[in-house]
Structure 1
C-alpha cells in the first residue's frame, strides 16, 4: 500500500509540473511596473506657479509613465472660468432692478436645482455634453431679461446651499457628473510619452454613457487601456445589496471586449470587483496607492515590496496634497520637491530586475481540469501516506475521504473544494515534517531527518500551488483559506503525537506552580503567533523589528521568515540533538521541542500560500530559513551543552 501511494504522489507531481513551471515563467517575465500620477495634482501645482513642462519632464525622468484622467464635470469647467453656476438666491440677488413679478417667478416657479451660465466662447461639444448628460432634468432658460443672448440652463436637483446647510461641504452630484474627457489635454500628455489612464466612478448611466464611447475612441487614438474605478463601488454596481447587479456584468463585459484592463486598488474594498474579475478572466493589474503626504512614511520600502514581493505592477503616486495647497500650509515648490525625492528613491532602490514602463497584466494561467484532478488525487495519496503512521485502516479512510473532496470538485467545479484540500495537505505536510525527527540514532540521522522534513513540507507546498492555480490567485481575487488553522493544528498535532506513549504519566504528574507558568507562556506565544499570522494581518511589530527586517531585506534581497530561522528550525535542531543524546525525561523534552519545530515547517508552507508572491522569492526565502535556522540550531546545541556541563556546579553554589 505504501508503494502504491508513493507512486501516485510521484505521478501526480510529474503531471502537475507544467503548471508550476508555467506560473514561474509568467511571473519572471512580467517585470515592468508603472507609476501613475493623477492629472488633477499636476494641474494644481501648475496653478500655483510651477512650470508644467518642468513638472512633466521631472516626472518622466523619475520613471512616471502614466497620467490618470477623470471625466470633466461642470465643476471643472467652473474652475477653468468657462461656466458659472447660480443658485436661486444668487439669481434673485442679481434681479434687484427687475419688477417684483419677475423676481417672484424665479424664486417660486422653479424646482430645486442649479442655474448654469455658459460662456459664449465655450466649445459646442461641452454644451452638447451637458445637455445630453442631464436628459430630461435640464431646461434652457429664455425668460431672464438680464441674460438676453446668453446660454443659460436650469438643472433640476439639489442646490449648493441645500447640500452644505448644516452638514459641511458635500460634493454636488450636478457639479461632479461626468460629461466627457478633455481629449486635447490627454493628447498633449500622450505626446510627452505618458499613457493615459481612465478614472471613472459609478455615476455613468444611459444618459452619459457616451463617456464610455469616448474612452474607446481615445484608446484607439492614444493607446491608453487601463481603468481605475474611484470610490467604493465599480461601474454598474447596485446601490443596495438586494438590488440586481446585471448592469455591472454588462458594463464589465463591454469594457473587456473593448480591450480595457482593470486596475483594482490594493487594500481598498470595492464592491463589484469579483463580478468584473470574472468577466475579465482575472487578467488585471493590481495597484498600490502611495500618498507622500499622509505622514505614514516608508514609501520607498512599501513601493519596492509591492512590486518585488506581491506581484503588484501599478503604483498610484500622489505628488501633491491639494487640501494642504489650498490651505497654504505647504507651497507648490515644497510639495513637488518632496514628491521628486520620493520618486527618485523608489526608482533607485527598486530591484534591477524591475524597470519602470507601461505595466501589463499577467498572461493567462489556466489549469486543465484533468491536471487539477491529478493534483487532488496526489493530495489524497500524500495524506494517506501520512496516515500510515497510525494504521492502514486510517490511511484507507483518509485516502477515500480526500477522493470524495476530489469528486465534489469534479461535480461542482467549486473552488472551495480546492481550498479545503489545500488546507488539509498544508496541515498534514507541516505536521509530518515535524514528527519525522522523532527518532534520531546519529548525527548523520539528524541531517537526514531535517532534509526529510524540508522535503515533505515542500511536497505539501507543491500541491497547494498546483490546486490553487490561476490568475485569480496570482492577483489575489481568490486566496488560500484557513491560515489560522495552519498556524495552530501542526503544533497541536505534533505535540499530541509525541506524548501518545506517556499520556498516563503526564496525567499523573504532580502539577507545580512553575508548570502553570510554562503553560501560560506557551499559550501566550501561540496567541501572538496566531495574531501575527495571515496574508493581511495587522502584525504587532515593533519599530526595532521593522528596522531589522528591512536591513535583512536590503542585504539578502528578501528576508527569511522570523518564525522559521529564529524559532522553528533552531528548536527542531535542538530537539533532535536532545533526542539523540538524552535519555528518559531529557529525551521527552527533546520530543516536545519538535512541536516548536513544527512552527518552522508550517511557516514554510504558509510562505507559499501567499499565492500573489512570486515562486522564486518564496523559494529563496525558504532556503534562507532552512540554512539560518539550522545554523542557529547549532548555536542552541552549543549553549545547551554548556548549560548541561555547568548546571551541577551552579546548583552546588545555590
Structure 2
C-alpha cells in the first residue's frame, strides 16, 4: 500500500501545499490578496484580488449581497441562521469560504462548513491575532507562520495590522521571501478537493492483517468499523494496532538496531494506513478530525505501566512503589498536557522547537528522542527488565510507536513532513540509544 500511497500523497501535498498571503495593507514586493471588511466594500473599486472578512454577528444581513460578488470570504462569529440554513445558502452560491484556525468565535462557522454538501469549497486561514503581537518578535512570528504552512499545509496566511509598533512590513516580507524560496508561495487560493477510496481499502486490508496476529474476531470488528464508521474505526485501529505492533515485535529476539527498525517500520505502516483513510475533502480541509487522539496516545503506555507495576509490586506496597506511581503520574500529566493544539510547552522547549524548525525544516518530536533510548533498553534486556523502574521504562519506550502513529493521524499535515519528522526521530533516537546501551554494557 505504501508504495502506491506515498508517491500519490506527496504529489497531492505539493499541489496543495502552497499558501496565499492576505494583508490588510499592501507591502512592497509582496504579491498578496487584500483583506476587505464588509463596511469598506463601497470604498473598494476593484475586488478581483480581495478576500472579504465577514463577521456574521454584524454582517449577516448583507450576506446575500456579499455572496453575489463571488469572491472568497472568511467567516467568523455567529449569525441568526441555523447551521443547516447557512450551509445551504453557501452551497447554493458555490461560495468559496474560509475559516480561521484557533478562532475563539469560530465554532459555529466550523459547524456550518461541516454541514455543507460541497466541502471542497473551503479553505483554512492562519493568522496572528492583534492581541498576540506583543508576545512575538519578528523572527518568532515568521517561524509561526512558516510552521503553519510546512506542518499543517495551511491555505492562506492572514496578516492583520498590529496595534503596537511591531514591524508589520518586515514580517510579511520575510514570510513571503522564505515561502517563495521554498516554492510554497501562491498568488491564488487553492485548497484540497480530491481523494481516492482505493487507498482506504488497501489500508483496511493492512489493519486486518496486523490485528489478525492478535485475534481474528478483533481484526474483523475493527476493520469493519474502520471501513464503515471511520470516526470510531480510525482510533480503534490506532489503539489496537499499536498493541499488536508492540506485542509482535517484543516477542522477537533481535538486536537493538534491528528491533528499533522493526518498531519504526510497523509504526510507519500503521500511521500511513490511517492517513490513507483521511484523504477526502472533509479531512483535508480540516473539517473532520481524527477522533481519539488522547486515548491513542495513552492506552498502550498506560497498559504497559499498569501490568508491569502489578507484576513488580510485592503483596505489601512499599514507599518505593508509591514513589514510582507518583513519578509515573507526574510524567503522565505532563505528557497529556503537552498533546493537542493548545498544549502546555515550557519556554525553553518552545525556543528549542523554533531553532530546530529553522535548521531542520521539520523538527523531530522530543518525546521520540526520549523514548528511543528507553525502547532500546527494553530490547537489550529482551523486554524482561526487572526492578521498580521497569514499568516506567516499558511505558516510555512504547511512545516510539504511539508518537509515530500519531504523527500521521493529522490529515492536513503534508505526508513528507510526517515522514521526515519520523526519520529524524529514528536517526537521532538511534544514536542516543546506542550511547545508552554502550554505557549499560560498560557498567
TM range (shorter): 0.7 to 0.9
Is the CA contact 1:426–1:605 (under 8 Å) kept in the aligned structure 2? Answer: yes
What TM-score do the two structures reach when normalised by structure 2? Answer: 0.87
**Are 1:34 and 2:37 an aligned pair?**
no
Supply the distance in 2 between the matched residues of 1:208 and 1:545 (Cα, whole angstroms): 44
Supply the distance in 2 between the matched residues of 1:577 and 1:303 (Cα, whole angstroms): 42
User: Counterpart in 1 of 2:217?
Assistant: 397
User: Counterpart in 2 of 1:431?
Assistant: 243
Deviation digits for residues 87-132 of structure 1 (CA, Å, limit 9, x no counterpart): xxxxxxxxxxxxxxxxxxxxxxxxxxxxxxxxxxxxxxxxxxxxxx
User: Counterpart in 1 of 2:52?
Assistant: 198
Deviation digits for residues 503-558 of structure 1 (CA, Å, limit 9, x no counterpart): 6x645455331221122101211121112112x1x322221111111121122111
Using a 3 Å threshold, how does the CA distance of structure 1 residues 623 and 487 change in structure 2: closer, same or farther?
Answer: same
Q: 1:340 Cα deviation (Å)?
A: 1.6
SS at match of 1:468: coil
Supply the distance in 2 between the matched residues of 1:507 and 1:31 (Cα, whole angstroms): 52
Supply the distance in 1 between the matched residues of 2:142 and 2:420 (Cα, whole angstroms): 22
Q: 1:377 Cα deviation (Å)?
A: 4.3
Supply the distance in 1 between the matched residues of 2:422 and 2:207 (Cα, whole angstroms): 22
Q: 1:300 Cα deviation (Å)?
A: 1.0
Is the CA contact 2:328–2:392 (under 8 Å) kept in the aligned structure 1? Answer: no
Supply the distance in 1 between the matched residues of 2:224 and 2:93 (Cα, whole angstroms): 40
Q: 1:252 aligns with which of 79, 85, 90?
A: 90
**Comparing 199-208 and 620-629, the one that deviates more:** 199-208
**Are 1:289 and 2:127 an aligned pair?**
yes
Which runs of structure 2 are paired with 1:328-367 in the superposition (5 Å)? 338-350=167-179, 352-367=181-196
SS at match of 1:477: coil
Supply the distance in 1 between the matched residues of 2:243 and 2:222 (Cα, whole angstroms): 18
**Are 1:71 and 2:62 an aligned pair?**
no
Is the CA contact 1:20–1:465 (under 8 Å) kept in the aligned structure 2? Answer: no
Supply the distance in 2 between the matched residues of 1:21 and 1:355 (Cα, whole angstroms): 19
Using a 3 Å threshold, how does the CA distance of structure 1 residues 498 and 522 change in structure 2: closer, same or farther?
Answer: closer
Supply the distance in 2 between the matched residues of 1:435 and 1:291 (Cα, whole angstroms): 46
User: Counterpart in 2 of 1:153?
Assistant: none
User: Counterpart in 1 of 2:421?
Assistant: 621
What TM-score do the two structures reach when normalised by structure 1? Answer: 0.60
Q: 1:255 Cα deviation (Å)?
A: 2.6
Using a 3 Å threshold, how does the CA distance of structure 1 residues 522 and 634 change in structure 2: closer, same or farther?
Answer: same
Is the CA contact 1:430–1:602 (under 8 Å) kept in the aligned structure 2? Answer: yes
Q: 1:421 Cα deviation (Å)?
A: 1.9
**Are 1:638 and 2:438 an aligned pair?**
yes
Deviation digits for residues 319-361 of structure 1 (CA, Å, limit 9, x no counterpart): 343xxxxxxxx7xxx56xx212222332344473234332332
Q: 1:578 Cα deviation (Å)?
A: 3.0
Q: 1:265 Cα deviation (Å)?
A: 0.8
Q: 1:492 Cα deviation (Å)?
A: 2.9
Which runs of structure 2 are paired with 1:400-415 in the superposition (5 Å)? 400-405=220-225, 409=228
User: Counterpart in 2 of 1:452?
Assistant: 262
Q: 1:475 Cα deviation (Å)?
A: 2.1
Is the CA contact 1:431–1:493 (under 8 Å) kept in the aligned structure 2? Answer: no
Q: 1:31 Cα deviation (Å)?
A: 4.0
Using a 3 Å threshold, how does the CA distance of structure 1 residues 573 and 374 change in structure 2: closer, same or farther?
Answer: closer
SS at match of 1:612: coil
Task: Please tell me the root mean square deviation across aligned C-alpha atoms, in Å.
Answer: 3.1
Is the CA contact 2:84–2:112 (under 8 Å) kept in the aligned structure 1? Answer: no
Using a 3 Å threshold, how does the CA distance of structure 1 residues 403 and 303 change in structure 2: closer, same or farther?
Answer: closer
Using a 3 Å threshold, how does the CA distance of structure 1 residues 437 and 493 change in structure 2: closer, same or farther?
Answer: same
Is the CA contact 1:311–1:475 (under 8 Å) kept in the aligned structure 2? Answer: no
Q: 1:382 aligns with which of 196, 201, 210?
A: 210
Using a 3 Å threshold, how does the CA distance of structure 1 residues 519 and 592 change in structure 2: closer, same or farther?
Answer: closer
Q: Which has the higher Rg, Structure 1 or Structure 2?
A: 1
Supply the distance in 2 between the matched residues of 1:641 and 1:378 (Cα, whole angstroms): 38
Supply the distance in 2 between the matched residues of 1:625 and 1:423 (Cα, whole angstroms): 23
Is the CA contact 2:113–2:122 (under 8 Å) kept in the aligned structure 1? Answer: no
Q: 1:520 aligns with which of 311, 326, 331?
A: 326
Using a 3 Å threshold, how does the CA distance of structure 1 residues 238 and 638 change in structure 2: closer, same or farther?
Answer: same
Deviation digits for residues 599-628 of structure 1 (CA, Å, limit 9, x no counterpart): 111011111112211000100000111111
Using a 3 Å threshold, how does the CA distance of structure 1 residues 371 and 547 change in structure 2: closer, same or farther?
Answer: closer
Query: Which consecutive unaligned segments of at least 5 residues does structure 2 have?
Result: none
Matched positions, count: 435
**Are 1:482 and 2:292 an aligned pair?**
yes
User: Counterpart in 2 of 1:85?
Assistant: none
Is the CA contact 1:36–1:64 (under 8 Å) kept in the aligned structure 2? Answer: no
Q: 2:77 aligns with which of 232, 253, 257?
A: 232
Q: 1:578 aligns with which of 381, 405, 414?
A: 381
Is the CA contact 2:19–2:155 (under 8 Å) kept in the aligned structure 1? Answer: yes
- Relative contact order (C-alpha < 8 Å, sep 6+): which is higher? 2
Supply the distance in 2 between the matched residues of 1:634 and 1:403 (Cα, whole angstroms): 37
Q: 1:465 aligns with which of 250, 269, 275?
A: 275
Query: Which consecutive unaligned segments of at least 5 residues does structure 1 have?
Result: 1-12, 43-55, 77-180, 217-224, 322-329, 388-394, 410-416, 646-654
**Are 1:569 and 2:429 an aligned pair?**
no
SS at match of 1:279: coil
Which runs of structure 2 are paired with 1:544-623 in the superposition (5 Å)? 544-565=348-369, 567-579=370-382, 585=386, 593-623=393-423
Q: 1:374 Cα deviation (Å)?
A: 4.8
